[in-house]
Structure 1
Amino acid sequence: MQHCAIVGAGAAGVSAALAMRSHGYEGRLTLIDRDPHPPYERPPLSKPAGRTLRPIVALDRFAELGIELRLGVGVDDVDPVSRTVRLGADSLRVDALLLSTGVAARRLAVPGSGRSHVLVLRDASDAEALADRFASGGPLVVVGAGFIGLELAALARELGLDVTVVEVGARPLHALDERIGLRTLELHRDRGVRFALGRTVQRIEADAVVLDDRARIPAATVVVGVGVSPRLELARSIGVTTDDQGIVVDAHGRTDVPWVYAAGDVASQPHPHLVGGPGRIEHWDVALKHGAAVGATMAGHPTAFTEPPYVWSDQFGLTFQMVGRPGPADEFVLRRDSTSESYLGFWLRDEVVVAVCGLDRPREVGAARRLLGLSAARADLVGDGLPLRDLLKKVRTT
């Protein structure tokens, strides 16, 4: 009997296992993860209910499908000659291997970064530790104004904590358009979040964070959200090619080692919405869909993931959504009726809509995503006099 092992029971790994079964794979299927918890959704970890883990699928579903879970155990190494996966004292002989090992949170390389009150958020144990720290009160210093940092800052403020966000850039979400960053800044400042922009952390003390300008910010807890690094150790030990983005795969998730595949956040994948070549797309929805595509391929039904990437972020009861992947040279246009708490925007590349985003406008984002790949006049996108439904009809008939 054929045996496939999947290392990493996150969104991509679980989705791949389910897809393999749904596409007729009848061999042995083992899902391995160092995390002892049954596979759970990661996005809710930064939400108020983060301590209650939400399963990706019901636990009994794995048994129904004959998917063996090996949780709380890490992979020590893989022998590429015998195709043996070693798990402590145990070992598994496999015919195919899927690496969905994900990413690890980056740490600060400054004095004091290893103190017990300096935390990151990647898994259930991190969320548990953060919940305990938040329950004990502030002040809180968040390092990094990306989505994770901002979500945690918003959660802490809603719990009544004193919050300061330290960001090396001139505004939050600096990878996106300046107007989005400034509206996000206003949203948080209006609710009491303080910002130290254009600053870096020099050291972390027992009760404070010291910045590069010698400013000292009181801190009972420090949360670091300064990006992630792909977990590549296992892939490299097997001899799989990696690049500065992750594990190099083709459009179907295949690596250059014929029996090894990769999916999810760790994969450096070609995708029609990526500008400048293959790369990682670190979003939950993408991990689910990429995992499903790679799982189908492994079951004998080659499938490519080509859908526009989708990401969302909840802050102060408002949901930011983005569909598509804008490039640095794309033009961003914002609807005239936009405010710091509600807006809709579009990215254009040679007059073609390549991405849309919105805050607190789920229906409009849902309609606007149908404009992706179509040419649209800038005036129509900016103006608020033409409903999106009518705009879509106009674009499709021109």
Structure 2
Amino acid sequence: MADRTFVIVGAGLAGATAAETLRTEGFTGRVVLLGSEPERPYERPPLSKGLLLGTTERDDVHVHDASWYPEHDVELRTGCTVTAIDRTTRRVRLAGDEELGYDKLLLATGAVPRGLPVPGTELDGVLRLRTLADSARIAATVAEGTRLVVIGAGWIGLEVAAAARARGAAVTVVETAALPLQRVLGDRLAAVFAELHRRHGVVFHFGARTRELRGTGRVSQVVLDDGTVLDADVVLIAVGAAPETGLAERAGLRVGNGILVDRRLRTDDPDIFAAGDVASVAHPLLGARVRVEHWSNARDSGPAAARAMLGQDVSYDRIPYFFTDQYDLGMEYAGWIPPGTSTELVIRGDLDRHEFVAFWTIGDRVAAGMNVNVWDVNDAIQDLVRAGLAGATVDRAALADPAVPLPAG
């Protein structure tokens, strides 16, 4: 293996953990990790949480110390953009026309924030959140008395709203749906998050679309479709993210809401793999293609792809998992519900006190679960989800009773 070169495009968490796994699994060849950002690999959850709250130091977000890369003979090249892949010659082309050969290639190119197709998004003070630099810009502009308008009430939008309120900003959230997180959580639990934010002073405009952003050089107003005008010093556009598939598309790889990979995280080219936010995985347990944009998927799929690149028999079957922290509410979610599937909601605990576990069941099988301010139960939730996928049923009345121990998966 010493004469082989493995190239990783994308120096985020998935790419960095893949490089680490190649070395821990004994790969002695050349490892090249290419990142378009000027930063060495870092984790993204602190961008909308600890960094904005001031509870996390900037240097603490990196996956490895700067010395780790030379010490483990990993060639980390930051500020380096890959422009093309030549699958015939197995070479990648970098900006500036430098070329680099590979034996195996991992694409961990992540996702990019979706734009908002309205006038005014080019104004100063209109921000997005994806990178460490983005987080620093938000932290520098959101302070006591700042009027922040967040467009989009998804996870990122709500986490930034919570952090901004902690910093003393006046926060307004504009959302096209009737509730925050409605598509993910359903009405009953979405209402919990709406109440949480209202209790902390956030103003919502639901069922509202943005018509335009106004300002002279810098944003000063957000105009909604119904004519409502919201004064703003800063606007955060948080309307989701799209997988960064351009490089794969230009190379002729199969894509569709991500780079299409099999259970081994291998594309239709046997020498090219994909991991992290960009990978649409043929999930062996869920029986569907799943693309997950959360920290745990990057952490877990990078190492899995590295092992597959080494020829190991990998089957990436992790249950989708994510977490959030907003004000005094901490939450973990595990599971997956097929789009359009009807579910029953089982609540175990106290919704009003924000101390509960929610289960989504399909028939009498657990498909997903969410623990809110109840800890050390997510492993049990994941066991129940796996058991449900295997056909095991539960007694929903017992599941709702906190006095009854959670059944083993």
2:30 equivalent in structure 1: 28
In 2, distance between residues paired with 1:340 and 1:195?
Answer: 22
In 2, distance between residues paired with 1:384 and 1:25?
Answer: 48
In 1, distance between residues paired with 2:281 and 2:380?
Answer: 28
SS at match of 1:335: strand
Tell me how far 1:336 sits from its aligned partner: 4.7
1:351 equivalent in structure 2: 364
Structure 1 residues 94 and 272: CA distance shift in structure 2, 3 A: closer
1:67 equivalent in structure 2: 74
Of the three residues 248, 257, 260, the one matched with 2:269 is 257
Tell me how far 1:330 sits from its aligned partner: 2.5
Tell me how far 1:132 sits from its aligned partner: 1.1
Query: Alignment identity in percent?
Result: 38
Structure 1 residues 281 and 17: CA distance shift in structure 2, 3 A: same
In 2, distance between residues paired with 1:144 and 1:273?
Answer: 32
Corresponding letter in the other structure for 1:177: G
1:392 equivalent in structure 2: 407
Tell me how far 1:366 sits from its aligned partner: 4.2
Contact 1:187 1:341 in 2 (8 A): no
User: Is 1:124 aligned to residue 132 of structure 2?
Assistant: yes
The 5 Å alignment of 1:1-398 reads 1-50=3-52, 52-53=58-59, 54-89=61-96, 90-135=98-143, 137-175=145-183, 176-206=185-215, 207-243=220-256, 245-272=257-284, 274=286, 277-327=288-338, 328-339=341-352, 341-372=354-385, 373=387, 374-386=392-404, 388=405, 391-392=406-407
In 2, distance between residues paired with 1:274 and 1:141?
Answer: 38
Tell me how far 1:58 sits from its aligned partner: 2.2
In 2, distance between residues paired with 1:363 and 1:249?
Answer: 33
Contact 1:107 1:224 in 2 (8 A): yes
RMSD, aligned α-carbons: 1.7
In 1, distance between residues paired with 2:397 and 2:144?
Answer: 51
Contact 1:141 1:221 in 2 (8 A): yes
SS at match of 1:287: helix
SS at match of 1:288: helix
Corresponding letter in the other structure for 1:24: G
Structure 1 residues 345 and 293: CA distance shift in structure 2, 3 A: same
Corresponding letter in the other structure for 2:132: A
Aligned residues: 389
Contact 1:167 1:200 in 2 (8 A): yes
Q: TM-score if structure 2 supplies the norm length?
A: 0.91
Corresponding letter in the other structure for 1:216: V
Pick which of 202-211 and 20-29 moved more: 20-29
Following TM superposition, where does structure 1 have runs of at least 4 consecutive aligned residues deviating by more than 3 angstroms?
272-275, 364-370
Instruction: For structure 2, list consecutive stretches of 5 or more residues without a partner in the other structure.
Output: none
Tell me how far 1:210 sits from its aligned partner: 0.5
Corresponding letter in the other structure for 1:262: A
Pick which of 326-335 and 193-202 moved more: 326-335
Deviations 1:138-182 (A, max 9, x none): 100001111100000000111111101101001011122211100
In 2, distance between residues paired with 1:309 and 1:273?
Answer: 11
